[in-house]
Structure 1
Amino acid sequence: MDSHKQFFSLLCLPLMLLLLSGLQVEGRLHPAYPSKKLFVFGDSYVDTGNTRKDQPGSWKQPYGITFPGKPAGRFSDGRLFTDFLAKYLGLKSPLPYKFRNVIPQNSKYGMNFAFGGTGVFNTSSSYPNMTTQIDFFTQLIQEKVYTASDLSNAVALVSVAGNDYNHYLATNGSAQAFPAFIASVINQTAINLIRIQKLGVKKIVVDGLQPLGCVPQITAASSFQQCNSTFNTLVALHNNLLNQTVTKLNQETNSTFIVLNLFDSFMSVLNHPSSHNLKDPLKPCCVGISSQYSCGSVDEHNVKKYTVCENPKTSFFWDLLHPTQAGWDAVYTNLQTTNALHQLRY
């Protein structure tokens, strides 16, 4: 997800209703799996440090206050889903691509090519889209950084968390064409998954879209009291197409493509926050002091223009778009009750 404040705010409810009428057409390590590597592609839901340090957001205070205790390039107060999945596989979190020449020894755990703000297509972000991220991966394989054996034992994580839709709306994409645009996002995602598979990765997991109608950017309109069902209906269209596409890919190839149902996992946690020791689940922990500021904003005198909640460990959302470490932990815990993650280990 992007940290830009424009996220979906350009779309008013009447437009959404028009659109809907067209829609009818830290745990234990597992040392038994030491040979695995994790390769990550996508956006800020999985980016562990590829964005530039001079940009607002993930490299600025107060990001990273829970882990590692300072800003470290994650769009959260701490760990992201990438970190939890790596630990599940018995790995250290894969090295962000931009540090590949700084600490090359850490490339043995895999590589993270994700950049916050990006999509499968170009977005308002200047960072590499997913096609280019896979190009980077291809280049490393050509340079023999990773062998065929490395790849056949590897897991790829692919995150498509909504930036393409943000950009579509921000550039005045029409309501009537939105369903066709969703289909094009899924089609491009399928092309990306096949490219990764043809490079030799046998297990590829792709995130389903989370409930966009529940991110604080949207729920602010209800004082963070309720999700917007109109947005979540759009998410359902994306996820249904993704599931159909992945089912077809599994029938046509000898690889394993797995969809992580983030929608249901997010909703399970948001609907039962107390079972995860969370409170006010739709309310973000870190917010700007007014609508012109966001989490991490400072003025020209470096005076902070944001507030942080007393205890991020009881918040599901960190800022207007991204979960806290506690939020991701709860989602990960819920996903462990499904079969999806188990398929990655064996």
Structure 2
Amino acid sequence: MAVNLSSLYVLTLIFLFYPFIKAIDFNYPAIFNFGDSNSDTGGLVAGLGYHVYSPNGQTYFQKPTGRFCDGRLIIDFLMEAMDLPFLNPYLDSVGVPSFLKGSNFATGGSTILATNAESISPFSFGVQVAQFIRFKARVLELLAKGKRFDRFLPQEDYFKEGLYMFDMGQNDLDGAFSSSSEDQVFALIPSIVSEFEAGIKKLYDQGAKRFWIHNTGPLGCLPRIISTFGKDPSKLDEQGCISSHNQAAKLFNLQLHALCKKFQGQYPDANVTYVDIFSIKYNLISNFSEYGFEHSITACCGYGGPPLNFDSRVLCGQTRNLNGTSVTVRPCNDTTEYMNWDGNHYTEAANLHVSSQILSGKYSDPPLSNTMPYPLKFKF
């Protein structure tokens, strides 16, 4: 059977990428993650009973796990790079989940700003920080009762020595564009960044010292956004993405980067790493064929056909009646050919690529390679 270039690229990444990530020792005993659907490992499902349909999870887990992806997320690959188990959602109480190596507070639809009546998720960044504070207090309370909880809960020093990861902001910009002009969205960004600063200061006051902050990706390149805002060709850039949304993401990222520098200066005992996810993803979209992908802005699991294969009336895995016809949205035959999974999120193959670029150290400030015992080298 012939092997297409997409599959060959992913196989190459697996063979070249995995030996290195297994060798890297970040020396973090636990991870505490905050974010939205880009790093949600089941929080929205556990917290609101939100139904994530099959075929989500089909590539790696063979079933839906609450992740909005056919397989693993960036956070999953990074956990593997640190030789740590996948993070359990803080809100998941069934099956005696282990939080020994940390907890995931991310939930799909979450924003940095406080929620309102139209919010998808009530678990804004402020709520997630409050959940962490409660989590830490409860853990310390239980640990004080003896060793019977040691197998499931992080040790007290893990809260100081652990890594605090963040991937939020996309939904704030997305929601703002639904009801505001471009200038109004730009004017809102300082408030978003200020709210984020308040949250990480609270975590610092709780003993957090190591911060890993992802900026937001190219929002304007999501098929769902393009289908809504891209009817006027003048609004599109050379990659077919919505220019205004990407400009807002860039402005947010610029201010987020400045905040990271400010925070590091204010708290010299902290370690703040800023990761440029936007550049990694936009480079992948711009040069997708060079990396073995067949499609850049076409959803794998969608309806409507190219160029976007996205219809907001029926989403991945759903069955709906459209104009008198029953329509079931099924995935593409080969997910490794696609970068976009469902119109909103990336495929496992794309997440693997992004993770490999993160771990190359080229997109971090300070450069990640400076903190690694083994430099990463990839051949694409």
TM-score w.r.t. length of structure 2: 0.76
Return the alpha-carbon distance in structure 2 between the equivalents of residues 43 and 233 of structure 1: 21
Quickly say closer, same or farther: Cα 1:33–1:267, change in 2 above 3 A. Answer: closer
Quickly say closer, same or farther: Cα 1:176–1:70, change in 2 above 3 A. Answer: same
SS where residue 174 of structure 2 aligns?
A: helix
Return the alpha-carbon distance in structure 2 between the equivalents of residues 281 and 128 of structure 1: 31
Q: CA deviation at 1:204?
A: 0.8
Identify which of 254, 260, 263 aligns with 1:249: 263
Structure 1 counterpart of 2:274? 259
Structure 1 counterpart of 2:317? 296
Q: Does 1:55 align with 2:47?
A: no
Matching residue's letter, 2:285: L
Structure 2 counterpart of 1:235? 249
Matching residue's letter, 2:336: K
Q: CA deviation at 1:272?
A: 2.1
Q: CA deviation at 1:322?
A: 0.4
Q: Does 1:42 align with 2:42?
A: no
Quickly say closer, same or farther: Cα 1:275–1:103, change in 2 above 3 A. Answer: farther
Q: Does 1:159 align with 2:173?
A: no
Give aligned pairs, total. Answer: 315
Listed as ranges, the gaps of 5+ residues in structure 2 are: 1-13, 141-152, 305-310, 374-380
Identify which of 120, 126, 129 aligns with 1:134: 129
Listed as ranges, the gaps of 5+ residues in structure 1 are: 1-25
Q: Does 1:113 align with 2:118?
A: no
CA contact 2:209–2:270 (8 Å) conserved in 1: yes
Structure 2 counterpart of 1:3? none
Matching residue's letter, 1:75: F
- Of the structure 1 ranges 195-204 and 223-232, higher mean CA displacement relative to structure 2 is found in 223-232
- Of the structure 1 ranges 270-279 and 260-269, higher mean CA displacement relative to structure 2 is found in 270-279
Matching residue's letter, 2:53: K
1:33-112 pair list within 5 angstroms: 36-52=29-45, 54-56=49-51, 59-100=52-93, 102-104=95-97, 106-112=98-104
- Of the structure 1 ranges 282-291 and 323-332, higher mean CA displacement relative to structure 2 is found in 282-291
Structure 2 counterpart of 1:315? 338
Q: CA deviation at 1:249?
A: 0.5
Structure 1 counterpart of 2:146? none
Identity within the alignment, %: 23
Structure 1 counterpart of 2:150? none
Return the alpha-carbon distance in structure 2 between the equivalents of residues 267 and 76 of structure 1: 19
Return the alpha-carbon distance in structure 2 between the equivalents of residues 160 and 146 of structure 1: 24
Quickly say closer, same or farther: Cα 1:310–1:292, change in 2 above 3 A. Answer: same
1:172-211 pair list within 5 angstroms: 172-211=179-218
CA contact 1:197–1:204 (8 Å) conserved in 2: no
Return the alpha-carbon distance in structure 1 between the equivalents of residues 96 and 278 of structure 2: 35
Structure 1 counterpart of 2:11? none
SS where residue 157 of structure 2 aligns?
A: helix
SS where residue 253 of structure 2 aligns?
A: helix
Structure 1 counterpart of 2:329? 306
Q: CA deviation at 1:146?
A: 4.0
Structure 2 counterpart of 1:328? 351
Q: CA deviation at 1:284?
A: 1.0
Return the alpha-carbon distance in structure 2 between the equivalents of residues 230 and 179 of structure 1: 10
SS where residue 33 of structure 2 aligns?
A: strand
CA contact 1:118–1:127 (8 Å) conserved in 2: yes
Report the RMSD for the aligned CA atoms in angstroms: 2.5
Q: CA deviation at 1:208?
A: 0.6
Structure 2 counterpart of 1:269? 284
